[in-house]
Amino acid sequence: MSDWTSGYVADIGYTFGYYQELNPLRVRLAFLNAGLVAPEVGAACELGFGQGMSANLHSAATVTSWHGTDFNPSQAGFAQELASVSGSGARLYDEAFADFSNRSDLPDFDYIGLHGIWSWISDENRRTIVDFIRRKLKVGGVLYISYNTLPGWAAFAPMRHLMTEHAEVIGSEGHGIVSRINGALEFTEKLLATNPTYARANPQIADRIKKIKEQNRHYLAHEYFNRDWHPMHFATMAEWLESAKVQYACSANYLDHVDAINLSGEQQAFLQEIPDSMFRESTRDFMINQQFRKDYWVKGARKLSTLEQAEALRLQKVMLATHRPDVPLKVGGALGEATMDASIYNPILDLLADHRPRTLGQIEQAMRDRNIVFSQILQAVMVLTGSGHLFAVLEDSAITKTRKVCDRLNAYLMNKARGGGDISYLASPVTGGGIAVGRFHQLFLLALSQGKKQPAEWASFVWQLFAMQGQKLVKEGKALDAPEENLTELTAQAAIFAEKHLPIMKALQIA
């Protein structure tokens, strides 16, 4: 009997995550910042879409035609249900990569994305994917791919191997993967308590195990406990992709584009002396001990002239999607936490505080009296977008076309939020993708959509749902027992939502 899982964890569903790097709209700013021509994306594909949240949110919120596959039939079934509810037309399958790649009804793609797949599959599947990219990615098309990277995983790899060996050899098959994960973590802690030489040589291991213990077991199952787990060097990835005729373009992580928060002056100077761009990238991974790369590759990179780059950047639209007072002037990079220059960031944030989309050219015009130049604006936009506060914005015509599709998908997701908080994203036709919206906020929006206009009414609506299911709120680690306490807390949260978040939801055309 064949093993359709190919060694991948299949007895526990993947988390309902959304990964904004898979949004093709993000390609444009990253490419423009790197001085490259970005494609117009009419057809896109996601390989290994998990529960299908990213594929469905992107399909609903754009006019792009989406295709994809995930080998797990229960996950594919949920993804297909979302596509059917929204009416987005996304074509999502439960086929293995080899079967999907041989379909005769697939178009050629402007964009192919893989998030959290490459490092967890066999060489055979990797070869299938590379061949698919070679055949189906258009000239000028973009590949997004993320993967576990060396040298960042070098120290932990032996411990991961020991944990999976424990799960296979000692763990009880009948108790399921979660029980085996817990047993492996307990064993690992006991091992570290004996102060082995391995732990003394790698003192960071204990902290990593502690963090792993706090993570969702569904996530851990797929992250650490598959048969295949292959972190690789950037140069090895380049070798794999060579036959697909793609070349490295730039990082999909916007913060990677800002050297000042990741590299010391000495490190920047050292890298600038390396003439080969690919070897420079490999060396940079050692400088920051890279653990996970999110990269764009392109089939036929084309450079923009200085004039073309400047003009295209000034046409790029962005909007602020965080309550202005809640945007910290801090950002995390490889060097640790960095402080933003308030004289540059505050005027830009104040201008965008009304959550209206503006082009970088319009921001530049507004900043002239502040002596803030365009290069400073561009870096601020890269940092604020990379930190999740700014979002690129679609054209008005595209927003109009997708609003009703997003409304249908969001209505379905908000209704699911009545029973639980597994899904914490909604679709925005403005940004072409998903926006983080927690369970309480989804339920407040659901109450609003049902004609309840005041925060007190939203709170009462949510409490009725919770009480019916025997659920209670937790505040500062303590469950609130009395109905009055729950209602008071919900009312306070609803008032904050009305003041801080509802205006943003309206600007994003979610509300």
Could you report the average pLDDT of every consecutive run of 10 residues in the chain (511 residues)?
A: 46 76 96 96 96 97 97 93 97 96 97 93 94 98 96 85 79 69 85 88 86 78 72 95 97 96 96 95 95 96 97 98 97 94 97 98 96 96 97 96 98 96 96 96 97 95 92 85 90 96 98 95
Residue 45 near residue 68, CB atoms below 8 Å: yes
Whether residue 6 is contained in a domain is answered as: no
Q: Do 63 and 134 have their domain in common?
A: yes
Q: Do 270 and 235 have their domain in common?
A: yes
User: 376, 353, 382, 349: which is closest to 364 by C-alpha?
Assistant: 376
Whether residue 15 is contained in a domain is answered as: no
Could you count the other beta carbons within 10 Å of the beta carbon of residue 336? 7
Where would I find the beta strands (DSSP E) of 21-125?
Answer: 43-47, 65-69, 91-93, 109-114
Q: Do 118 and 240 have their domain in common?
A: yes
Q: Do 123 and 35 have their domain in common?
A: yes
Give the rounded distance of the alpha carbon of 500 from its chain centre. 24
Whether residue 303 is contained in a domain is answered as: no
Give the rounded distance of the alpha carbon of 172 from its chain centre. 34
**DSSP tag of 500:** I
Q: How many domains does the chain have?
A: 4
Hey, what's the torsion of the CAs at 177, 182, 188, 189, to 10 degrees?
170
What are the distances in angstroms from CA 16 to CA 49, 421, 425, 475?
A: 10, 10, 9, 25
Rounded CA-CA distance 258/385 in Å is: 12
Residue 99 C-beta-side C-alpha neighbours within 13 Å: 9
Rounded CA-CA distance 19/114 in Å is: 10
* Structure confidence at residue 14 (pLDDT): 63
Write out the two tokens for 19: 């990964």
**CATH number, residue 41:** 3.40.50.150
Write out the two tokens for 331: 């950002």
Residue 34 near residue 260, CB atoms below 8 Å: no
Phi/psi at 506 (5° precision): -70, -40
Q: Do 71 and 201 have their domain in common?
A: no
Q: Do 350 and 459 have their domain in common?
A: no
Whether residue 362 is contained in a domain is answered as: yes
Q: Do 290 and 330 have their domain in common?
A: no
Residue 61 near residue 401, CB atoms below 8 Å: no
User: 245, 258, 234: which is closest to 34 by C-alpha?
Assistant: 258
Give residue 92's domain range: 20-150+230-298
**397 SS3 class:** helix
Prior bond to 483 cis, omega within 30? no
Rounded CA-CA distance 128/440 in Å is: 42
Rounded CA-CA distance 141/298 in Å is: 6
* Structure confidence at residue 257 (pLDDT): 96
Element (H, E) at 286: helix 277-288
Residue 350 near residue 415, CB atoms below 8 Å: no
Q: Do 217 and 236 have their domain in common?
A: no
Task: Give every strand in the sheet of 43-47, ordered side by side.
Answer: 91-93, 65-69, 43-47, 109-114, 137-148, 292-298, 247-251
CA angle 387–390–391, rounded 5-degree value: 115
For 508: left if phi > 0, alpha if psi spans -120 to 50, otherwise beta; the answer is alpha
Give start and end residues of each alpha helix (H) in 34-102: 53-61, 73-86, 97-101
Whether residue 340 is contained in a domain is answered as: yes
Q: Do 262 and 146 have their domain in common?
A: yes
* Structure confidence at residue 267 (pLDDT): 96
* Residue with tokens 């036709």, as numbered in its chain: 429
Prior bond to 151 cis, omega within 30? yes
User: 146, 114, 143: which is closest to 301 by C-alpha?
Assistant: 143
Whether residue 67 is contained in a domain is answered as: yes
Element (H, E) at 141: strand 137-148
Q: Do 258 and 343 have their domain in common?
A: no
User: 31, 116, 37, 53: which is closest to 296 by C-alpha?
Assistant: 31
Q: Do 338 and 448 have their domain in common?
A: no
Phi/psi at 391 (5° precision): -135, 140
* Structure confidence at residue 166 (pLDDT): 83
Write out the two tokens for 377: 């604006």
Whether residue 98 is contained in a domain is answered as: yes
Please state the pTM of the whole predicted model: 0.88
What type of residue is 32?
Answer: L
Last residue of a domain, one of 176, 198, 224: 224
Whether residue 4 is contained in a domain is answered as: no
Write out the two tokens for 442: 């989804």
Q: Do 408 and 465 have their domain in common?
A: yes
What are the distances in angstroms from CA 150 to CA 222, 237, 289?
A: 19, 11, 8
